[in-house]
Amino acid sequence: MAVFVLDKRGKPLMPCTEKRARLLLERGRARVHRVVPFVIRLVDRQADACSFQPLRVKLDPGSKVTGIALVREAEVTDVATVEIRGTTVVLNLFELVHRGRQISEALTARRAMRRRRRGANLRYRAPRFLNRCKPAGWLAPSLVHRVHTVKAWINRIRRWAPVTGLSSELVRFDMQALANPEISGVEYQQGPLAGYEVREYLLEKWGRACIYCDAEGVPLQIEHLTARARGGTNRIGNLGLACGCCNQKKGSLNVREFVKDPKRLARILATASRPLKDAAAVNATRWALANALRATGLPLELASGGRTKFNRATHGVPKTHALDAACVGKVETIDGWERPTLEIKATGRGSYQRTRLTGSGFPRGYLLRQKQVHGFQTGDRVRANVPSGKKAGTYAGRVAVRASGSFNIQTPNGVVQGIGHRHCTLVQRADGYGYHFRPKDSFVKGEAGDGRASHAALSIPGLKAA
Ligand SMILES: [Zn+2]
């Protein structure tokens, strides 16, 4: 991964390689500013007179995971053709794991608790007047959290790197390109991109299943309701999806002749003639996120999922959330994507509730009143060096504290229980996220994995000084 670099005043400079960062630290020209993601601060340089190459943060917002990629936009001259091409150089890959589900479960639990209290203790109190309504643009807390965490991470990355632009996937497919083919560029009408937008649209419209036999999870082919041989057009209203079998069976028959079941026929014809609403293509959260991104003041590029898929397929990039993000928007060529991904898991900062309950609502146990135990708190990143005994060894990871001073440490290889606080050293304070490196060989098959590189940031000498 590229290492973020700050100048001596804390202003961001261009990110550097791991090797360069190691040299800077060894020669005393830099200090460790933050451990995960790794940020160093130069002691002898100021950013005032520097000019930077354009950096872009790209996003692929998802319901459970949002892919984030920091890329450098460069121009390279092709040696053979002396042609200047734009290229996207991937610097860092992140995957932000959201906790929408936990938030919604916590709110459900709270609601149940309050309900019980109202039934048991406040029976005769008159209900509050029903004067509460949701403001326009209201999103459920689990969804708002998605927008907020993505915004928070963009702000963080901007603190560590001179970002000059943002790209985000807004829609699954480009409605404009489908509806008015004549207004859009040549690549939609003749190029292969047209097929991608159309395919995504059809998948959404027909519910990702064969329209004749409802087969799901099989390769689906684009199918003409009125066959091409009978003068059927390529218009979106004449297209459906069919599995290989059904497509072959139907051949050049008309849909009215092929489908015997009148109910199914009526359903197919109704769906075919009804255009898919914009709302189905763009969900409210993505809009809210786009507005939040616009508020940063950086130039914002909004792209479609069809184009992401097209970029990924053209450049032979495997599918992960972070790499999807790197492929969002306009990408001519893409370099340096074979690198580890930092998985950032939103963990929250604990709960207000101090009583744990059984399923029936009876108290089961009580949590500590204070958050810290012997100077550590749950969520801190620690390194434990146990010299002897059953647990002898070195462990690094996220700590969960207990009042007894015997902690649990979540390491990449699982939870290690019962590590004494005396053996722990603080690496980084809890910030509401858990971090985990996924080496690049988890998606690049046949290439020797270099897991060491991804953990290099954690083994740099002088770390304890930070
Ligand atoms: Zn079928």
pLDDT exceeds 90 at position 297:
yes
Cα(198) to centroid(ligand 1), Å: 19
CA of 261 to the centre of ligand 1 (A): 14
Going from the C-alpha of 311 to that of each of 317, 331, 332, the distances in angstroms are: 8, 7, 8
* Model pLDDT, residue 277: 59
CA distance 116 to 111: 9
CA of 316 to the centre of ligand 1 (A): 29
- Distance (angstroms) between ligand 1 centre and the Cα of 207 equals 13
Query: 196 alpha carbon to ligand 1 midpoint, in Å?
Result: 21
pLDDT above 60: residue 20: yes
DSSP-derived 3-state class of residue 36: coil
Q: Cite the beta strand spans of 43-198 per DSSP E.
A: 55-60, 65-77, 84-97, 163-171
Q: What per-residue confidence (pLDDT) applies to 93? A: 96
Cα–ligand 1 centroid distance for 146 (angstroms) = 37
Ligand 1 centroid–CA 213 distance in Å is 4
Pairwise pLDDT comparison (405 vs 270), residue with the higher score: 405
* % of residues, the chain, pLDDT over 90: 49
Q: Quick one: which of 381, 379, 405 has its CA closest to 395? A: 381
> Could you count the other beta carbons within 10 Å of the beta carbon of residue 231?
7
Q: Which residue type occupies 106?
A: A
Tell me the average pLDDT across 168-194.
Answer: 56
Q: What are phi and psi of 121, to 5 degrees?
A: -105, -25
Task: Give the pair of three-digit tokens for residue 426.
Answer: 């603080």
212 Cα: distance to centroid of ligand 1 (angstroms): 5
Using the mean position of ligand 1's atoms as its centre, give its distance from the Cα of residue 200 in Å: 18
Query: pLDDT per residue over 189-231, tens digit each?
Result: 445 556 677 777 788 788 888 999 988 888 888 888 888 888 8
- Over residues 352-401, the pLDDT tens digits come to 888 888 877 788 999 999 999 999 999 999 999 999 999 999 999 999 99
> How many Å lie between the centroid of ligand 1 and the Cα of residue 226?
17
Mean pLDDT for the stretch of residues 280-300: 83
Separation of 240 CA from ligand 1 center, angstroms?
11
pTM of structure:
0.77
Confidence (pLDDT) at 446: 35
Distance 318 CA to ligand 1 centre (A): 28
At residue 274, the pLDDT reads 76
Q: State yes or no: pLDDT of 184 exceeds 50.
A: no
Could you report the per-residue pLDDT of 303-357, keeping only the tens digit for each? 888 889 889 999 999 999 999 999 999 999 999 999 999 999 999 998 888 888 8
Beta bridge partners of 395: 384
CA of 267 to the centre of ligand 1 (A): 15
Q: What is the pLDDT of residue 178?
A: 59
- Report how far Cα 282 is from the mean position of its chain's Cα atoms: 17
Q: How many angstroms does the Cα of residue 221 sit away from the middle of ligand 1?
A: 10
Which pLDDT score is estimated for 270? 86
pLDDT band, very low/low/confident/very high, at 155 (cuts 50, 70, 90): very high
Report the range of poorest mean pLDDT among 133-142, 179-188, 198-207, 270-279. 179-188
State the distance from the centre of ligand 1 to the C-alpha of 243, rounded, in angstroms: 4
Q: 437: closest CA among 458, 416, 417?
A: 458
| Poorest-pLDDT segment among 149-153, 156-160, 411-415 | 411-415
Q: How far is the CA of 94 from the centre of ligand 1 (A)?
A: 39
User: Rounded to the nearest whole angstrom, what is the distance from the C-alpha of residue 174 to the centroid of ligand 1?
Assistant: 27
CA distances from 41 to 7, 21, 31, 56 (A): 6, 10, 5, 21
Mean pLDDT of the chain: 84
Spacing, Cα 247 to ligand 1 middle (Å): 7
Counting residues of the chain whose pLDDT is more than 70, the rounded percentage is: 87
Ligand 1 centre to CA of 251 (Å) is: 13
Nearest to 69 by CA among 139, 175, 157: 157
pLDDT computed for residue 179 by the predictor: 53
209 Cα–ligand 1 center, Å: 8
Question: Looking at per-residue confidence, does 117 or 165 come out higher?
Answer: 165
Q: Which residue has the higher pLDDT, 36 or 137?
A: 36
Split at pLDDT 50, 70, 90, the class of 128 is confident
Report CA(242)–ligand 1 centroid distance (Å): 5
Phi-psi map region of 378: left, alpha, beta (phi>0 left; psi -120 to 50 alpha): beta
- Residue 73 reports pLDDT greater than 70: yes
Q: What is the pLDDT of residue 158?
A: 96
Confidence of residue 25 (pLDDT cuts 50, 70, 90): very high
Cβ burial, residue 238 (10 Å; 0-12/13-18/19+): middle
Ligand 1 center from residue 102 Cα (angstroms): 38
If you measure from the C-alpha of residue 217 to the centroid of ligand 1, how many angstroms do you get, rounded to a whole number?
11
Where is pLDDT greater, at 250 or 160?
Answer: 160
Cα(255) to centroid of ligand 1, in Å? 13
Cα 245 to averaged position of ligand 1 atoms, centre (Å):
6
Q: Find the 14 Cα to ligand 1 centroid distance in Å.
A: 53
How far does the centroid of ligand 1 lie from the alpha carbon of residue 231, in Å? 23
Centre of ligand 1 to C-alpha 225, Å, is 13
Query: pLDDT higher for 171 or 220?
Result: 220
Cα R_g (the chain), whole angstroms: 27
- How far does the centroid of ligand 1 lie from the alpha carbon of residue 264, in Å? 13
* 210 alpha carbon – ligand 1 mean position (Å): 5
- What confidence score (pLDDT) does residue 448 get? 35
Distance 296 CA to ligand 1 centre (A): 47
Distance from residue 265's CA to the centre of ligand 1 (Å): 14
